[in-house]
Chains A and B, each alone.
Chain A
């Protein structure tokens, strides 16, 4: 561990911190290329897209395909780097850097200052390793070969202030490369899907431009090495989301939804800004994510500071990742085109909040005391979200809204997982969820494309006959979402439940603590998911087709209204669906729990954890891992299936029987329990009204600010401030008038006038002498001469 301490000192001098290197594979050092390509594609599409043969779509698809290729290469480069990056190289590199830096005295001082750190780090590191080994259960041999994960960095100066330089850069580790793959893969499928789905749209080119910009921003967010860069990307994806939700802005509800999304996110961004600012100063004026995490974990930042910062950042997570109570924008965001919903509002952007917690896990881990508590705000918010959003999904008639609430609920799982310390489980769920939820959205889009509506009750039913491929892929993705063995969702959801610790009942799951409440919430959520998804399947694909040929209000996505019966979508829509359902089926296999398959299939066990969790990196807490338990898996699956079964009984048996009796296609029992029992009806109303949150936000807060408050302020402006100024002006004028009339005109001017008057009067008298009569003049002359003579004689 002497190496670690050396690395720590190196960090103090600036060049490097433990847990990352400036070396590594070329592709990882140049990860800036990934966002750069779609950013360029955005500009090309924006300025030249309309003149291209495919209106810019080809540029978008080509660039995203290139990014996907790079992302896959990055993943393999990372696998290699993860397993074979030798510490010796790091030592050499750091040594060289240290030699370059002013070695000697500076280093000496640091050694003296940092003795305490050295000792603590030296003792802590092996402890983390042991913990890890213990968590593995010691029954498999591969823990001995694990060495610390070393992230790859590259950076450049972005700006300076007060003589300090602030960097922009890339931080590539397992988490980042995993997201790079997810984002570029889903983005590529959505690009392809959209060529059919939005074909003929008046803003087709513009749509592709923003898809490119979104992809670029999201990739930038993923590879961010500094918080300020993170904020930048965070806001940029928000703007793309705004533009794409409001894609059909001719109609007011769409632009309203876009505004709502942006503004709700802005509210959360207060937390983001404040939280990042607190961390900036707490970590000694740096935006460096690695440094912030490292300092948080080393106890160099006070606990209270971390607590406040992580609570602030949670605000941002709640808005961006749709956590209860700031989730209301996400269902409204379904006003955007369906592929956009799949990409942005299911698979990528909305998980940015989850990604941020994972990125700054050191801060959250220490700030919220995840390791030691049995309940904390993060886990609680996640749990509440997953249950409450799951309930809301029951009363939606719009298939996309059901999926939206389902997304909210699943995001709740991820946040809860991070809250209980199950980092890898959260990321793993993020990974699998991206595929099956994108698959569900695109499947819903495929149906809607064909019936020109999203309303399950009015316009769907019996779709399995018309759209077999969509039906099959949709069911596979549903099974994955519900968490049925062996679909992807089962593995990730189970891992989250394991991570909660929970009861010792299920074979001592361990984990970081005993988050019993979260375990209950998670299992409950699973059964809710099963029930509402069964409802969706029945309403959409079973029963009789309810669509009657009428006008297509509300279905913006549709452009060919000429045929009456729905039909299967084209290959550009179905192939992405098949690919996604393939992933929904298989993605879970990348992280099989070690206890699941006995025998020598070690190469399949916990590969996800192995490659993607930054084990033993200084910027990452040494989280413990729960031991999987058969009993828990069986129990939670049973509860989930029970939810499915109840909904199945209601729809497939009761409703179906009633429908056959009545000979028409029903969507619910005519006299269901919600119409009869009082408190159920009240509950139903509460759900239909979405807990009245929208009323609170729209009618009370937004309307209040926009209306009375703003008007009052403006009234004050006009009638108090401005009136004061006007009054001052008017008083000045009045004073001036008074001074003018009373003083200036009467006194000052009076004096002047008197002088004038005197002269004038005198002149008037004198002029009488001038008669024009020559004889008088002569008389004056002589009189004058006489006087002069008198003077001459008598005076002189």
Chain B
């Protein structure tokens, strides 16, 4: 069983107020590169965002866009080497996580920032009971005795909707279904009431019917505990309902960032448009083919010189292949990295139709008539 913390001088950051002028979590131009035999992989190349308690940030992007690496960097779970922080900072309650020692990070992990992973089938240790695995964090961070931790484990399991928890806590992971295991993972992550819950594609490996349950469970828990959530997904549909802010990532850096409304109703980046267009539409009578984004994400070793999306962008001009775009900000803080973001006509012309734009157009037409 895990040993209790030795360092009693440790100040629980969780109980400290967030310093004036900072946020709960601030990711500031974070750069994480991997030094491999093939060259330098710029997995995370300048990611910035802030997060406060009770907020949900959706991080959206294709496989290999650096979504997971960003969160694993925050957790300090990237092996270095081959990984290396090339710049930027991650501050939790005003304290830099990147400057913390491994021992200090062990206090943060599971206690202040917890994480759940994509595949619940492989994320639990097959040789230990659910109860033991749930207890571990509480015994380590909260100093619970075996009995206290087991009692709390049963409460947690009941809370995440596992029936007959008193018996189930003695079972092994293989005796649970996938959805049940993800519930266990959520219970495990929330055991120490962390400030931030990072969910790395929590529903990808689950049945569609279970997906909604798991998302709802996370929202419910958030209402109860007031924690922040970082929801990583490649499925815009998953974040649509839950996220307050959305960051769209491409090739290691954000290409668009805004509130969920802005991303869904006023998207400005051609990549975001592509993601929205590729959501299957549920229209009963009219069958239309899906609109995929053509091509594959670029190699992160030999990134394109200009805009990283330019090779796949249907609107790309010469400048896109030559020069990296600077972020363009709107008054609300919504930003995008596209050379044509300052051209409202271009955006209006090419934006995918959303329920809001359709309504607006109808209203405009009605006004003219």
Q: Do A and B bind each other?
A: no
| Chain B residues within 8 Å of A, Cβ to Cβ | none
